């Protein structure tokens, strides 16, 4: 616990909540009625540790007290981008509503319907979600098909709803009170003293009155609360610096967000609400009953100093009753930090993934097969567990946004572990453009284990839905696919699979993008797996596979297979993978930048190029809705197998090899190399062109890569010289056969 900041506010909140829940239940039982879910409102000034608090409360209530808890933010009720723009255009002279933030920029009716559905314990309730990084930080509502679902298990409906946000609980004032506060603030803003730091006095009265009038609509949500908690701070001006830092982190993680100037204008837009309504919160939002509200004060941080250690009280002593009550054991039973690296601060900020990646400490190599000691000790035999592998798995779980990760001896080893939980008669739905090794394994299971395997075009959601049945046990996806670079709608297929069979497992091979660019678990998948040989390692000096899940029981099933078969990753390879992961961010950035240049170079010269970074890709929008980058694998076609062979053989800098993800650039023809195990007839059926060339772009100088590829195209006779350089041969010039897939 010494390396983990304990959120000390929870020791006050948990007893308060449990007491109110008991009174809530007793009041209904006294009337002979079953109590509805318990609704809690939580308001906290931004950066005051609200996010960490609600996560702690959710875990404590759900796990420690058996009360399934939903945490929902008012931010997820923001208007869709289009409606926000309509609101802004309808009131062009009101700067407070030119972007999301203030009351009036939320879809209150959507929140009311959600609250009512939760109160009625309806099954399979969709919970709205909002992407703040969309539209360069302006934000947009996530499509409904990607919203998470609650109450999918009728036996475990949501019992506690924790509704949090910076303006939750605000109550509208009468117009006279608003005008009085505004005039006081305006007088201070207009004075020559220069000590007025707020924003209310710099707004027009009619702008403020408009927001106040719209706030009355929010009472339909506030009146639902059975209890309310306020995380208060005497000085709130630090939110400007906190918000600037948070936005910069989000831009680095997602590649999109607001500029510093936009952030300042954004905070200017909502800061007047703090000045108007904070007193309302402090005086209590309930008029009918005392004791339903808890107020917690945090020590205000100095400007620009908002790390959790600055303004959260120190953790209580490790051996104190409070610390023992809040002790956190991970899924492995360890009371340790979540990885070898320091965790993100607990005040709501989160380190960017690039920081988490390289910040892992160097772990010792426990190059031992056995460990001395008696029964019950954590480690006894490396097949069952090894300290070096444990540190790797903990670190991978963090960067893959998973509760648990497991490391095995290869990527196909990971796929094998996942499919070993299938039983005879189970149905698997998967793609028609799969890695050759995956296709080989599924074919073996179909022929020898009575597993039913359905290959469909997973780029078409309706086609996938048609293949799903209540017997579908697993959906196995790749995105982007290899080598046709097709994009699969992870969220849409996950939702469809779980609707067809709530017990179905959606597994996504994320090797082509790595956790740096895509997180399938966040999109509704149950399992994500990767070949650690590729981007995670980055140097092709080890073989490794990784499995990551959120479900503890599922993780145990996979661990049982790993322990039984002995396919866990060896200590030295675990150490190598830990080392490789540190440079994942810098490698991926360089590789996908190079790949984009290569893709544009080939497309500009007339080749058919498959790469999700190009706007010509038919699923460009889908890809960028679920990923943060295009990756560094692309493919192109020439029209002739013989021509493609000459191109591959003519390169010098591009190495001819299977695999990808290495810092070195590689070139290959999948149909005779990585996908050769798929028979020609099947390749033809799945429209896999025999002439396709796959490029796996490395970190070399881009001018050298382009030059080498240019010379190979010329030497192979794949281009026609022009005054401006060269272009790809047309169909007749390349000698394309009637059907390329018929060529041997």
Q: pLDDT tens, 632-669?
A: 999 999 989 999 999 999 999 999 988 899 999 999 99
Domain boundaries along the sequence of the chain: 9-172+218-254+279-298, 387-582, 583-728
- Is-catalytic flag, 171? no
Sheet containing strand 608-610, strands side by side: 608-610, 633-637, 693-696, 666-668, 655-656
Per-residue model confidence (pLDDT) at position 482: 86
CATH tag for 583-728 (out of 3.40.50.2300, 3.30.1330.10, 3.90.1150.10, 1.10.220.150): 3.90.1150.10
Render pLDDT for 236-275 as a digit per residue (tens, 0 to 9). Answer: 665 667 667 777 776 677 676 677 777 776 677 677 888 8
155 Cβ partners below 8 Å, 6+ apart?
none
Q: State yes or no: cis peptide before 483, omega within 30 of 0.
A: yes
Q: Which of 131, 433, 509, 708 is catalytic?
A: 509
Q: Which of 526, 533, 493, 491 is nearest to 512 (CA)?
A: 533
Taking a C-beta distance cutoff of 8 angstroms, is the pair 658, 674 a contact? Answer: yes
The one catalytic residue in 435, 529, 535, 559 is 435
CA 100 from centroid of its chain's CA atoms: 22
Residue 357: per-residue pLDDT? 73
Confidence of residue 547 (pLDDT cuts 50, 70, 90): very high
- Widest distance between CA atoms in the chain: 90
Eight-class DSSP state of 136: G
Nearest to 520 by CA among 556, 550, 558: 550
Task: Locate the DSSP E strands across 432-504.
Answer: 452-456, 472-478
In this prediction, residue 377 carries a pLDDT of 78
φ/ψ (deg, to 5) at 414: -65, -45
CATH code of the domain made up of 387-582: 3.40.640.10
Known catalytic residue at 335? no
Q: Which of 383, 420, 454, 579 is catalytic?
A: 383
Question: For the chain, what is the radius of gyration of the CA atoms?
Answer: 28
Mean pLDDT within 600-609: 95
Q: Which of 146, 534, 582, 610 is catalytic?
A: 534
Residue, of 154 and 692, whose pLDDT is higher: 692
Mean pLDDT, residues 310-318: 31
Q: What is the DSSP letter of 402?
A: -
Q: d(Cα 425, Cα 469) in Å, to the nearest integer?
A: 13
Q: What is the dihedral of CA 725, 730, 735, 739, to 10 degrees?
A: 140
> Quick check: helix, strand or coil at residue 474?
strand
Taking each helix axis from N to C end, the angle separating 175-190 and 205-215, rounded to the nearest 10 degrees, works out to 140
Cis bond upstream, residue 480 (ω within 30): yes
- pLDDT, tens digit, 9 for 90 and up, residues 40-87: 999 877 666 777 788 888 988 998 888 999 999 999 999 999 999 999
Residue 302 has pLDDT above 50, yes or no: no
Q: Are 548 and 396 in contact (CB under 8 A)?
A: yes
Rounded CA-CA distance 656/677 in Å is 18
Active site (annotated) includes residue 509? yes
pLDDT tens figures, 108-118 = 999 999 999 99
- The per-residue DSSP string of 600-616 comes to HHHHHTT-EEE-TTSTT
Q: Residue 628 is encoded by which pair of tokens?
A: 């943060």
- Rounded mean pLDDT, 89-103: 86
Judged against a pLDDT cut of 90, whether residue 737 lies above it is answered with: no
534 in active site: yes
Identify whether the C-beta of residue 173 lies closer than 8 Å to the C-beta of residue 280: yes
Query: 192-217: buried (b, 16+ CB within 10 Å) or exposed (e) per residue?
Result: eeeebebbbbebeeebbebbbebbee
- pLDDT the model gives residue 193: 58
Give the predicted TM-score (pTM) of the model.
0.57
Query: Which option is the CATH number for 9-172+218-254+279-298: 3.30.930.10, 3.40.50.300, 3.40.50.10190, 2.40.50.100?
Result: 3.40.50.300
Q: What is the pLDDT of residue 239?
A: 65
Tell whether the model's pLDDT for residue 553 goes beyond 70.
yes
Residue in this structure with the two tokens 């007339």, named with its chain if needed: 606
The pLDDT assigned to 581 comes to 94
């Amino acid at each position: 616990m010494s390396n983990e900041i304990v959120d000390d506010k929870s020791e006050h909140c948990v007893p308060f909540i449990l007491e109110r829940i008991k009174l809530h239940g007793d009041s209904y039982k006294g009337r002979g009625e079953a109590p509805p879910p318990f609704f809690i409102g939580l308001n906290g000034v931004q950066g005051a540790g609200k996010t960490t608090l609600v996560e702690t409360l959710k875990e404590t209530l759900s796990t420690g007290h058996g009360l399934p808890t939903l945490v929902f933010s008012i931010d997820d009720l923001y208007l869709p981008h289009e409606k926000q723009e309509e609101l802004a255009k309808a009131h062009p002279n009101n700067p407070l509503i030119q972007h999301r933030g203030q009351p009036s920029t939320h879809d209150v009716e959507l929140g009311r319907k959600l609250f009512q559905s939760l109160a009625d314990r309806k099954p399979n309730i969709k919970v709205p979600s909002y992407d703040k990084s969309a539209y360069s930080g302006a934000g947009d509502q996530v499509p409904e098909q990607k919203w998470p679902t609650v109450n999918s298990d009728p036996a475990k409906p949501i019992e506690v709803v924790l509704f949090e946000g910076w303006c939750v609980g605000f109550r509208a004032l009468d117009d006279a009170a608003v005008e009085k506060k505004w005039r006081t603030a305006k007088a201070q803003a207009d004075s020559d003293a220069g000590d007025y730091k707020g924003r209310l006095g710099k707004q027009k009265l009619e702008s403020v009155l408009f927001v106040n009038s719209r706030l009355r609509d929010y009472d339909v949500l506030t009146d639902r609360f059975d209890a309310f908690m306020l995380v208060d701070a005497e000085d709130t001006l630090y939110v400007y610096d906190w918000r600037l830092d948070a936005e910069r982190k989000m831009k680095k993680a997602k590649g999109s967000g607001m500029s510093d100037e936009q952030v300042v204008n954004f905070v200017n837009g909502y800061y007047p609400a703090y000045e108007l309504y904070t007193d309302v919160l402090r005086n209590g939002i309930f008029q009918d009953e005392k004791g339903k509200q808890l107020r917690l004060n945090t020590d205000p941080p100095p400007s620009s100093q908002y790390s959790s250690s600055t303004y959260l009280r120190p953790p209580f002593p490790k051996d104190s009753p409070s610390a023992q009550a809040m002790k956190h054991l991970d899924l492995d039973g360890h009371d340790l930090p979540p990885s070898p690296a320091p965790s993100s601060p607990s005040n709501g900020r989160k380190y960017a993934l690039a920081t988490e990646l390289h910040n892992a400490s160097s772990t010792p190599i426990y190059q031992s097969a056995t460990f001395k000691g008696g029964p019950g000790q954590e480690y006894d035999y490396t097949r069952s567990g090894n300290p070096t592998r444990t540190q790797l798995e903990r670190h991978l779980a963090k960067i893959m946004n998973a509760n648990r990760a497991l490391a095995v001896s290869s990527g196909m080893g990971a796929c094998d572990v996942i499919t070993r939980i299938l039983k005879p008669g189970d149905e698997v739905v998967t793609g028609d453009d799969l890695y050759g090794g995956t296709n080989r394994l599924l074919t073996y299971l179909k022929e020898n284990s009575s597993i039913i395997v359905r290959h469909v075009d997973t780029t078409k959601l309706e086609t996938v839905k048609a293949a799903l049945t209540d017997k579908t046990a697993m959906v196995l996806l790749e995105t982007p696919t290899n080598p046709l670079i097709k994009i699969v709608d992870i969220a849409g297929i996950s939702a469809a699979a779980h609707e067809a069979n709530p017990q179905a497992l959606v597994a996504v091979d994320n090797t082509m993008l790595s956790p740096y660019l895509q997180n399938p678990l966040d999109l509704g998948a149950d399992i994500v797996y990767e070949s650690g040989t590729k981007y995670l390692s980055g140097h092709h000096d080890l073989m490794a596979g990784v499995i990551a899940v959120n479900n503890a029981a599922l993780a145990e099933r996979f661990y049982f297979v790993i322990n039984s078969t002995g396919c866990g990753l060896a200590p030295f390879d675990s150490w190598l993978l830990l080392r490789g992961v540190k440079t994942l961010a810098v490698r991926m950035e360089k590789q996908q930048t190079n790949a984009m240049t290569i893709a544009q170079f080939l497309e500009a010269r007339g080749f058919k190029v498959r790469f999700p970074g190009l706007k010509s890709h038919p699923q460009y929008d889908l890809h960028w809705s679920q990923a943060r980058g295009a990756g560094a694998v692309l493919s192109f076609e020439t029209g002739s197998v013989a021509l493609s062979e000459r191109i591959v053989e003519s390169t010098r800098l591009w190495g001819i090899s299977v695999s990808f993800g290495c810092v070195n650039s590689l070139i290959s023809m999948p149909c005779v190399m990585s996908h050769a195990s798929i028979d020609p007839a099947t390749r033809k059926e799945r429209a896999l062109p025999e002439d396709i060339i796959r490029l796996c772009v490395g970190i070399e100088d881009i001018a050298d890569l382009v030059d080498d590829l240019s010379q190979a195209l010329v030497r192979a006779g794949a281009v026609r010289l022009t005054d401006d350089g060269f272009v790809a041969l047309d169909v007749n010039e390349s000698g394309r056969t009637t059907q390329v897939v018929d060529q041997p």
